[in-house]
Structures are given as C-alpha cells and as structure tokens.
Amino acid sequence: MKYKGTYEFYSTFIEGLTDTIPITIPFNLTPSKVRALENHQSLRFIHAGNWWNIKNPEKRSKELILAQQMKLANENTTGLMSKNIQPGDQDLKEEEDRLKKIYRRQINYDKFLYWLLDSSELIDYYNKNLEYANWAKENNNSAIPIYCSIQVINYESAREWFEKASNNGHNHFCIGVSEFLKYPKFKKEGIRRLFEIGLGIRSVIKECAKVHFSGVASYYLIPILAYFGVSSFDGSTPVTSALAYGTIFNENGYSLRASVLKDNLKKREKFFATTNKCKCEVCNEKNIKQIVDIFSKDRKKRVIHNLSIWRNLVSKLNSKKNNLVKFLEILDSRINSKYFKDLLKIKDDILEKYDY
C-alpha cells in the first residue's frame, strides 16, 4: 500500500543481546533489566504494558506510563506507545458492567475475545484510547514520537478512529495485536482482521506515517502486514521459542527443535537444504554438524541465530520496499508451504473485498 519509509522489528529484550538488535521494553522494566540496559545503544521502542499483566489500574495510569517511559528513553528511542485499553481493563468500570449485561453472561476476559464484539459496543473504548494518546502527545516534552494506540477491531473502525487520530495531529500509530492471535480456533479470523486493520489504518494516514503492530513476530505474517502498510513490529517469538522450546528457524521461516535437528537426519537435511547457509556470528564458517552441536547446547546462541534470521527478513523488506508484491512472490516460491499460500489468499480476498 502507500507507505514511504523503512521497516523495523523490535525484539523482546533479554540480557546478553547485542547492540545491533532493536528491542522493545515495557514502561515498567524490572530494575535488573534497567541496569543491564544502561550502556545499551540499540534502537528501543517503549511499550505501554499489557493490562492482563497489570490488573491494578493505578499501576498503569497514563501519567505513570509516560513518566516511566521518559525515564527509560534515550537518544536511540524511536517511540513511546500510548496507553491502550480494551474490554477487560479496569479503566471503564461502567462500560464493563454494561457489556456484561448485554452479553448476558459472566464474561471471563481471559477466555473472551473482545474483538468479536460488535464494533458499536466499543465506542467508549476507542474514545478513551484516543483521549490517552492526545494527552500523551500534549504532555510529551521530548522529541520522541508518541505512538497513538487504539484497539480497533476491523477495517471500518480502523479507518474511522485512525483518521480521527490523524486529524488530531498524530503521525505515529499503534495497536496491540496479540489478542487476535491468541486462540487457534479464532486465529484465521484474527489474522484476517489484522490484515484489514493494517489496510484500514494505512488508507487514512499520511504516506510517511508510521504504524506499529505490537505483539506479532510471525515470520510469515510480518511480510504480508508490511505489504498492507504496517511499518514496524514487536514480538518475542525468535527469543522465547529459542529459550523455552529450543526452536531454531531457517531463512524460510521453517522451524525445528534443536533436539530434532540433532537426531533426525531427514528433517535436518530439509532444514538446511532449502536455505543459504546462515552467516550469523554463530553459524558463520562452521559446518552443519558443528552448528547443530552448538544449537543443542547453548540457548543464547539459538537466540542470536534466530534474531539474525529476523534481521535478514527486515533488511530484505527494506531493500525490496518499492516492490513488495514481487517480494511476496519470491517468498512464496521459497517457502512453498500451504500455510503461507493460505495467508496470501486471505490477503487477496481482503484486497478484493475493499476494492483495492
């Protein structure tokens, strides 16, 4: 779509990451991580936190978020996310009660997807999000942009509310998206909504304006969302999958656990056959057996390798940014998976539906 600018991916921060990896950090970063970050010169995007981690509204007030973000900001900070809320937050207590009455049941927000509600029920939330973003913009006494965050749920609400935000003088926009990808049963619909939202936002803002999707790191989703005009992303997949599951990715987004890579020669062959040999600091100038040995033993090295795969994806997006249609075609032929083809089909359906 019409976006003139570069793309970026911000990784969840863990200690030991090198300065070349852009990171996302929460406003309420733990003291030990604050210390670990002291001399860190990587680009940083400062998050407004997730309500499900911080249930007490006083610990996530708009004032507290901005003040803490300012403390963590430095000359490499690229954005401050404004406070976003959605049903389940404690900010709009009356709204919560009203919604529960309408839906005639005890809504358990841990299992409930607010984005499946009718958009007309969410107007107070949209309004509140915009109010918080406007407040943050007015009270921001730095040159770091405030990313105006609004939890819209579809194409129409994305257009309506981000157009308002743009008219209010915002040029940086954001939405927290992990809720859309949370449950396997609704994941396909969630992905469709994310594509719609990306398209909707981009259609009402300036060509140079930035759009950040927080909470998506999927190797397959990022290029398609970029095509729709989303300019940056943050997520933990390359890090947490390497740490918790021992998962390694190759340059086609194909992933395997290090233990499988070690023991299953057939899968190992498939993993290495389709991709150019990785040139990251872990893999460079080593043979496959040496690489697999390192992956099985050293979790930090798995993280470094995975992040280099994501860095390569971003640099390819940036070098091909004037022709992402072609880039998606190349990716499709390289990845050659039914899942990716299904995603491209969803993309095409949306373009047709909204007449692009």
> In the complex, which residues of this chain contact Zn ion (CB under 5 A)?
278, 280, 282-283, 305
Handedness of CA 135, 138, 144, 149 (dihedral sign): positive
Nearer to Zn ion, 54 or 283 (CB): 283
Query: What's the closest the beta carbon of residue 308 comes to Zn ion, in angstroms?
Result: 5
Residues 6+ apart with CB under 8 A from 154: 115, 119, 193, 196, 197, 200
Nearer to Zn ion, 107 or 280 (CB): 280
Measure the CA–CA gap between 308 and 31, rounded to whole angstroms.
27
DSSP state of 245: I
Nearer to Zn ion, 313 or 328 (CB): 313
Nearer to Zn ion, 279 or 345 (CB): 279
Report whether 17 contacts 242 (CB < 8 A): no
Query: What's the closest the beta carbon of residue 332 comes to Zn ion, in angstroms?
Result: 23
Query: What's the closest the beta carbon of residue 279 comes to Zn ion, in angstroms?
Result: 7
Query: What's the closest the beta carbon of residue 284 comes to Zn ion, in angstroms?
Result: 7
**In 3D, which of 258, 217, 241, 294 has the Cα closest to residue 22?**
217
Nearer to Zn ion, 65 or 283 (CB): 283
Measure the CA–CA gap between 328 and 334, rounded to whole angstroms.
10
Nearer to Zn ion, 39 or 276 (CB): 276
Query: What's the closest the beta carbon of residue 287 comes to Zn ion, in angstroms?
Result: 13
Nearer to Zn ion, 129 or 250 (CB): 250
**In 3D, which of 221, 220, 218, 216 has the Cα closest to residue 234?**
216
Helix boundaries (H) for the chain = 31-36, 62-72, 93-102, 123-139, 155-167, 184-204, 221-227, 237-240, 258-263, 265-273, 288-297, 299-319, 324-335, 338-353
Neighbours of 289 (CB within 10 A): 10
Angle between helices 123-139 and 155-167 (to 10 degrees): 30
Query: What's the closest the beta carbon of residue 300 comes to Zn ion, in angstroms?
Result: 13
Residues 6+ apart with CB under 8 A from 251: 275, 276, 278, 309, 312
Nearer to Zn ion, 129 or 308 (CB): 308
Query: What's the closest the beta carbon of residue 238 comes to Zn ion, in angstroms?
Result: 11
Query: What's the closest the beta carbon of residue 277 comes to Zn ion, in angstroms?
Result: 9
